[in-house]
Each structure stands twice: as structure tokens, then as C-alpha cells.
């Protein structure tokens, strides 16, 4: 299981400290949410903060765009340090073209889907999709309650990936905690994003290690 702590829950007054904490932990990636106040009812940060994180990060930047017209900024996000770039299926009119452009610029191409979006809509773009970020809360804010229907969606998407022999990995974003991590992995999740669970704990490094140690046996 790949673990990607969400920087949205970090202490922005001490961002270097928190980035270096993740560097020194068992976490695999940094998950970074970019919000524009249009696609979602919140605004996070843009290129200057992303570049500042990249300056200290020693692990890949997993960048999730919750913005309208994401295709306008693909090169800029690559230049700012993104290693993986997700665009929302609900925000892209020409999704094939956008995924091709992401790959052209040397990044892993990801598609994010909202809780109400049926995974069957991914079928036509799976051959181009390295990563699917399945939202298990409504996007825009951290600390929300996990949507229980996510488990079935993971299983449905995993079946589709297997049927098409696609290399796509499934990422779960929202409400991931120590209580549901076992079920998420058992359902077929490959990557887990954890924000509040990590950064609100008394010992984030220890919490990351605990999450990484979770194993599901048949």
C-alpha cells in the first residue's frame, strides 16, 4: 500500500518542518490539493507554495487539481514540481487529450472522480490513466466523514481495471483513518491519502508507520 499524507492538513506556518517530517517518515508520496474556489467551494494554494514544497520534498508530489479548465496549466504544474497530476473527470471536456498532454510532459496521468460519479465512465480512458483518485468525501475540505459506498465503488473499479488489463492504480482520498484502512485495502485500494489522521495525531511519524504496517490477509 502506498501512503500519501495530504499537505492540506499540514501546519502552513511550519510547512518546511512538516515536509521534512514526511521525508523522514515511512510515507511514500506527498499529496497536494489545488483548489480554485470554482470547481470546489474552497481555495488552497497555487504555484509558489507548490514550488516551495518541491524545494524540500524528497518524495514524489501527487498533485490533485480541483479546478476548472485544468488543461490550461499542465506545463506550469510540471514546472512547479508535480510528478503525478490528477484532473477531475467532471471538469474536463476533452479528457483523452488532457491525459495525453500530462503524459507528454513527463508526469503520471491521473483522473479524480467525485463520490456521485459512476466508475463505468472511466472505461474509455483507462488505457491512458495511470492513477484514479476516488473521492470518498465531497471534495473541497479536509476532515469530512467517509462515504461508506466507497467500498463498492473500489471493487467495481478494480473489476473494470482487471477486465481491461489496465495498469491503473486506485487512490482513495477523504476520511481515511485507522478504523477503515483495512477495509479499503481489502476492497482493492492501492494508494491511501491521509490528512487529518496524520497531522492531527500526537505523533505523525508513528501514525504513518502504523498505517504502512497494515496488512490484509485472505
pLDDT tens for 22-48 read 999 999 999 999 999 999 999 999 999
Which residues, in sequence order, are bridge partners of residue 31?
6, 62
The pLDDT value recorded for residue 216 is 66
Q: What are phi and psi of 28, to 5 degrees?
A: -100, -40
Catalytic residue among 18, 28, 62, 173: 173
83 is catalytic: no
Residues of the chain below pLDDT 50: 218
The pLDDT value recorded for residue 214 is 86
> Hunting for cell 483507462 — which residue is that?
126
Under 8 Å CB-to-CB from 176, ≥6 apart: which residues? 136, 146, 184, 192, 193, 194, 197
Q: Where are the domains of the chain?
A: 2-212
CATH architecture type of domain 2-212: Alpha-Beta Barrel (3.20)
Whole-prediction pTM: 0.95
Q: What is the 3-state secondary structure (H, E, C) of 132-197?
A: EEEECCCCCCCCCCCCCCHHHHHHHHHHHHHHCCCCCEEEEECCCCCCCHHHHHHHCCCEEEECHH
Catalytic residue among 33, 62, 130, 190: 33
The pLDDT value recorded for residue 144 is 72
173 is catalytic: yes
Give the SS3 label for residue 8: helix
Q: Closest Cα partner for 32 from 128, 113, 142, 130?
A: 142
The distance of Cα 17 from the centroid of its chain, to the nearest Å, equals 21
The pLDDT value recorded for residue 145 is 84
Residue 129 near residue 169 (C-beta atoms within 8 A): no
Bridge-based pairing of strands 61-66 and 84-88 is parallel
Amino acid at each position: 500500500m502506498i501512503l500519501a499524507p495530504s499537505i492540506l492538513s499540514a501546519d502552513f506556518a511550519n510547512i518546511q518542518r512538516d515536509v521534512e517530517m514526511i521525508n523522514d517518515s515511512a510515507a511514500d508520496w506527498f499529496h497536494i490539493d489545488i483548489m480554485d474556489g470554482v470547481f470546489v467551494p474552497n481555495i488552497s494554494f497555487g504555484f509558489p507554495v507548490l514550488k516551495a514544497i518541491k524545494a524540500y520534498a524528497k518524495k514524489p508530489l501527487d498533485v490533485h487539481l480541483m479546478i476548472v479548465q485544468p488543461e490550461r496549466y499542465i506545463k506550469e504544474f510540471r514546472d512547479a514540481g508535480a510528478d503525478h497530476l490528477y484532473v477531475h473527470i467532471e471538469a474536463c471536456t476533452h479528457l483523452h487529450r488532457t491525459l495525453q498532454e500530462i503524459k507528454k510532459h513527463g508526469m503520471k496521468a491521473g483522473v479524480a472522480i467525485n463520490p456521485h460519479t459512476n466508475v463505468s465512465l472511466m472505461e474509455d480512458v483507462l488505457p491512458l490513466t495511470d492513477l484514479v483518485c476516488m473521492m470518498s468525501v465531497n471534495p473541497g475540505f479536509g476532515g469530512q466523514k467517509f462515504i461508506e459506498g466507497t467500498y463498492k465503488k473500489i471493487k467495481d473499479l478494480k473489476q473494470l481495471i482487471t477486465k481491461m488489463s489496465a495498469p491503473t492504480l486506485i487512490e482513495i482520498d477523504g476520511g481515511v483513518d485507522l478504523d477503515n484502512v483495512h477495509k479499503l485495502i481489502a476492497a482493492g485500494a492501492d494508494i491511501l491519502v491521509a490528512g487529518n489522521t496524520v497531522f492531527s495525531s500526537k505523533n505523525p511519524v508513528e501514525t504513518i508507520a502504523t498505517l504502512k504496517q497494515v496488512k490484509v490477509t485472505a
